[in-house]
Amino acid sequence: MWLRSRGYRKGEIVVPLTLYHLGADWYATRLEVDWKPASAEEATALFEKHGLVGEFWSLIEQRC
């Protein structure tokens, strides 16, 4: 009700352990000298690896 009354939609609800494992993978190579940010495709694949799927988690632009 609070969200709706302010024009927001409910996002995704994620179990903290899932976020922990996602974060461990996300930052696993962060301190390497040749580190580069993940592309949209790489990030979306990482989300999928942790069961985070659907429109909310897709960073890849859908073409019509």
pLDDT tens over the chain, length 64 residues? 888 899 988 889 999 999 999 999 999 999 999 999 999 999 999 999 999 999 889 888 766 6
Among 38, 35, 55, 56, which residue's Cα sits nearest to residue 46? Answer: 38
Residue 51's CB: how many other CB atoms inside 10 A? 12
Q: Return the pLDDT at 64.
A: 60
Phi, psi of 60 (to 5 degrees): -90, 125
Among 59, 60, 62, 56, which residue's Cα sits nearest to residue 14? Answer: 56
